[in-house]
Amino acid sequence: MILVFGTVCIDRVRRIPFLPESGGYVEIEEQFDVLGGEAANTANALNSWGVESELWGNSLGDGIEADTLRALLNAKGLANRVAATLITPPTPICDVLVTPNGERTMIGRGFAAMDPGVDPEGIRYVPGSWFVAEPNMRRAAHTAAWHAFEAGMKLYLMDYSDPESLPRGSYWQSSTDWFGTRNNTQKNVTWVQDWVAKTGSFAILSDGPNGFVAGSPEYPVRAYPPYPAPAVVDTTGAGDVFRAGMVYGLSQGWPIHRCLQFASAAGCLKCRALGATTDVPTIDEIERHIQQHASVTRQLS
């Protein structure tokens, strides 16, 4: 069983031809609501691959927007389990502005109020299973990760910034949006080497189209190339699907290079459609992509 802890929200996707300058104007070409949030994106991918998982997220709030979010969860066959609702914060909504190059700008509402609404003491921690989290609900996320570790769960933590919150032997993932240096592979190799020395974790730092750097005390830190992506429509959720691919492979007992191949291919294929949860690649599609790009696959071995 995989326990996915973290953010569940509405992504209000808006396709626009360009980002306007300050004081400017742009016409929205397409708009729709989809299920979003790092935890929901990852749980949705795992669910689509037939993996038993539990989604423990923030309170969904009350009112029409909360009903919309519950309907989006139900449509994906997901149930959001909240340990305890200490307060009723507003429904978190993320406006995702997507331009023709597939890049996105995000503007959120309700995310700062999520943390006080969750009590991690009531979560069911299962020894020997996987605990997956990101720290948007900072207090709750760090407390939940510590409880999971004490219960004997295996940890896969994304974007955690405190080395002391990473038990040795855990898995860590982030991107150059938060750590390292964008478009500088050598600096990122050095950064990950230092991070691994501090934490003793298996660390992955992605740099979008430049691939990623990964390693651990047992696996020398090095740079890996990305799989070629189809026409990039929207990069939202690519890191979350990469994370799902890694946890999927680890839960199957695959060797680390096989997990990296699957995760990298899954993340790049996610970019072919608008919305983080609208078009998760199937296992067959991911495997075909790995086979079709044998030269990259060899470099990921």
Q: Domain limits at 92? A: 2-19+27-299
86's tokens:
């200490």
Q: Provide the whole-model pTM.
A: 0.96
Q: What is the mean pLDDT of the chain?
A: 95
202's tokens:
């298996």
- Structurally, the chain folds into a number of domains equal to 1
Mean pLDDT on 239-259: 98
- pLDDT tier at 85, thresholds 50, 70, 90: low
- List the CATH number of the domain containing 209: 3.40.1190.20
Mean pLDDT on 45-62: 94
pLDDT at 199 over 90: yes
Residue 293 pLDDT: 95
Closest by CA position to 30, among listed 18, 13, 45:
13
Q: Which of 99-113, 183-197, 201-215 has the lowest mean pLDDT?
A: 99-113
Distance set, CA 52 to CA 43, 44, 46, 47 (Å): 9, 11, 8, 7
